[in-house]
Amino acid sequence: MSQSTAPLSTDPRPDLDADDVPPRIDAPDVAVLEELLLGRWAEDRRASRKLAGQERFHKIEGMSRDDHRERVLGQLFDLVAEGAVHRAFPEEFGGRDNHGGNIAAFEELVTADPSLQIKSGVQWGLFGSAVLHLGTEEHHRRFLPGILDLSVPGAFAMTEIGHGSDVASLGTTATYDPEAEEFVVHTPFEAATKRYLGNAALHGRDAVVFAQLITRGVNHGVHAFYVHLRDDRGEPLPGITVGDDGQKGGLNGIDNGRLAFDRIRIPRTHLLDRYGAVAVDGTYSSPIESPGRRFFTMIGTLVQGRVSLTGAAVAASKVGLYGAITYGNQRRQFNASSPIEEEVLMDYQLHQRRLLPRLATTVALNFAHEELLAKFDDVFSGADDSDENRQELETLAAALKPTATHHALDVLQECREACGGAGYISENRFTSLYADLDIYVTFEGDNNVLLQLVAKRLLQDYAAEFKDADFGVLSRYVASQAQSTVMHRFGLRRALQSVQDTGDERRSANWFKQADVQRELLAERVRQSVADVAGELRSAAKLPQAEQARVFNRHQAELIDAARAHADLLVWEAFDDGLSKVEHEGTRETLTRLRDLYALTRIEDSLDWYLLHGRISVQRARTLSPYINRLLERLRPHAQDLVEAFGYTQDEHVRMEVSSGAEARRQDEASEYHRKLRASSEGPVDEKVLQRRAAKQRRGARR
């Protein structure tokens, strides 16, 4: 460690170092930082971490699928016994109407076993939540107690083999029969088979089934129905075919499976009819007139899954980084700078490059997730459940869930590789967490589909800006867009930059580390990307629909890029807001530099865009990577403090051999052995040393 904080006088490039990078960063206060990262629902997180730290909840690597499924079911009963699952439910059912705290607590279970987190999510977050949010009081009274105490494990039967993300196109039908006052639930073709449902293969007694509601010859779109699946002995009821999805890439503690219905009949009252009811005579009614809006309101409860996956992904990233950075601070390899002692891995620039930007992004996502959770709580608690806030919540979740879940895979893979072969052994959990979290990127809304939702929202917002503009304004705007290959709104700013660069290259880093420069760069990328695509789409507005779709398709990749850039900006804003509250100086300074690292590595990743759009001059851009490298050197001494501040403990939550201290003990033992050998006269001499001596003697003899 001492090397990276050595005095700067030995730096071979002092001209770039002197006044633009702090020579050292004050240490953060770990306790202060931990509290900050725990956020508003610290108490719920702590309580859940305490549970998750208990051995009975821990995943046992290599356990058979059958045993793992039973173990996780048992853990769910333990959670019930601990009173850990009621937070989000109404007080009359033993709950606390604590929506944010509930999600926070569930997220923390991921450190024990992601199967536990997800199976809990299926039972209480999806199945229970659907009854709570889509059902009425009568449904609550009938169904919630059994769901809450787990006497009725259930499935959330939405996805079909033929349709995942496109819920509106589901094939399952529920046709009302007024004679019998029953719905006939049916799987009309194989593609409509419900699939990948947790609790379906084995444990699910009941299910909430999503199907096209048909009454009096009209299809009112997808609605939710409460369906009994199995009898008391666990056998599927007549007309219900159950299948087991078998082995999966991960999450094998969950019994995912499939369901098909052969015209089974359920009572009329099993329609969860808060947003759409069918009277005895078959008359349909709904408080929401527009079928489209009704549909989106009903599937709006899905947002809570996205929120909790975001938080769980951040938690898993922290566990991975704790393991790899702790190991990187102990593991020695090769001896570049000293013939005796090898370097610690974290001293290598490449290792810093691999781990520290990912650490910065993880901290950034911690803050961003906290904002998402607060918005979620506002909406679900009713504090602010306006349509606008609901939409904002959905867009924010659609931006952050893909960002955080893909980030977690990236972090876990890099951490596993950074630990070499040890990273591959299951006792180090990287591969296990990766395998379990892999599915997070495509379930509860495929990441790419979610990013397209974000992109569409960005286009809508962009269009709304010009809603009241007359045609002249619009056409002028479009015209200026069309010219953007050579000129754009920021042409002036670019010119100023260039002047500054020519004047003094050293000031470049001072520019990059300004918060408003970072914000502006990240924001401009979103604005301009959206404007560019909007311009293209506008020019196709008069073509036939199929052609418009083609034009849209030809910009799909750009739109996804714009959505990602938007997420980067949101995350940066949250990070910047979050650190502004910190009073302890060292903590704020470390976080500020970590924010810089986050912003600048995001900008570095799309540096071609900034250059192509003239947002950063070539001269300035050339200083970016060297500046980031120096930032890494300055942050590196605090890496261990930062992962300690995540608040996870080695024994309870991390549980990896690489971070247990065993590596340092082995290194010490080996060093001591070599030290003694060198000190004694008995140790063997290296052949290389002998040859060097002989060569010296020969030279001496020749003289």
**Beta bridge partners of residue 344, listed in sequence order:** 332
Question: Considering the rule CB under 8 A, would residue 480 count as an interface residue with a copy of itself?
Answer: no
Tokens of 37: 């990262």
Question: Considering the rule CB under 8 A, would residue 77 count as an interface residue with a copy of itself?
Answer: no
Question: Considering the rule CB under 8 A, would residue 269 count as an interface residue with a copy of itself?
Answer: no
Question: Considering the rule CB under 8 A, would residue 219 count as an interface residue with a copy of itself?
Answer: yes
Question: Considering the rule CB under 8 A, would residue 285 count as an interface residue with a copy of itself?
Answer: no
Question: Considering the rule CB under 8 A, would residue 666 count as an interface residue with a copy of itself?
Answer: yes
Question: Considering the rule CB under 8 A, would residue 62 count as an interface residue with a copy of itself?
Answer: yes
The residues, any chain, with a CB within 8 Å of residue 70's CB and separated by 6 or more, are: none
Q: Which of 553, 661, 696, 698 is in the footprint of a copy of itself by CB under 8 A?
A: 553
Residues 4-43 binding a copy of itself (CB under 8 A) are 10, 12
The nearest distance, CB 193 to a copy of itself, in angstroms, is 9
DSSP 3-state assignment of 243? strand
Phi first, then psi, for residue 278 (nearest 5°) are -120, 120
Nearer Cβ to a copy of itself, position 421 or 472? 421
What is the pattern of x (binds a copy of itself, CB under 8 A) and - over residues 565-604? ---------------------------------------x
At which residue do the structure tokens 């560019």 appear? Answer: 532
Question: Considering the rule CB under 8 A, would residue 334 count as an interface residue with a copy of itself?
Answer: yes
Cα separation, 441 vs 616, whole angstroms: 33
Q: Which of 177, 460, 669, 698 is in the footprint of a copy of itself by CB under 8 A?
A: 669
Question: Considering the rule CB under 8 A, would residue 536 count as an interface residue with a copy of itself?
Answer: yes
The nearest distance, CB 537 to a copy of itself, in angstroms, is 9
Question: Considering the rule CB under 8 A, would residue 336 count as an interface residue with a copy of itself?
Answer: yes
Nearer Cβ to a copy of itself, position 516 or 687? 687
Tokens of 561: 């890029």
Question: Considering the rule CB under 8 A, would residue 443 count as an interface residue with a copy of itself?
Answer: yes
Cα separation, 540 vs 542, whole angstroms: 6
Cα separation, 356 vs 349, whole angstroms: 10
Question: Considering the rule CB under 8 A, would residue 530 count as an interface residue with a copy of itself?
Answer: no
Nearer Cβ to a copy of itself, position 377 or 501? 501
497 burial class (0-12, 13-18, 19+ CB within 10 angstroms)? Answer: buried
Question: Considering the rule CB under 8 A, would residue 547 count as an interface residue with a copy of itself?
Answer: yes
Q: Which of 22, 146, 243, 291 is in the footprint of a copy of itself by CB under 8 A?
A: 291
At which residue do the structure tokens 């059902």 appear? Answer: 135
At which residue do the structure tokens 């502006």 appear? Answer: 520
Query: Interior CA angle at 78 toward 74 and 79, to 5°?
Result: 115
**Beta bridge partners of residue 197, listed in sequence order:** 257
DSSP 235: P
Cα separation, 203 vs 256, whole angstroms: 10
Tokens of 245: 């999805």
Nearer Cβ to a copy of itself, position 247 or 703? 247
Cα separation, 416 vs 324, whole angstroms: 7
How big is the site for a copy of itself, counted in residues (CB under 8 A)?
Answer: 121
Q: What is the 3-state secondary structure (H, E, C) of 438-462?
A: HHHHCCCCCHHHHHHHHHHHHHHHH
Give the interface segment with a copy of itself, choosing from 21-29, 78-86, 314-322, 444-452 (CB under 8 A).
Answer: 444-452
Nearer Cβ to a copy of itself, position 141 or 554? 554
**Beta bridge partners of residue 135, listed in sequence order:** none
The nearest distance, CB 650 to a copy of itself, in angstroms, is 19
The one-letter amino acid code at 548 reads Q
Q: Which of 293, 476, 554, 693 is in the footprint of a copy of itself by CB under 8 A?
A: 554
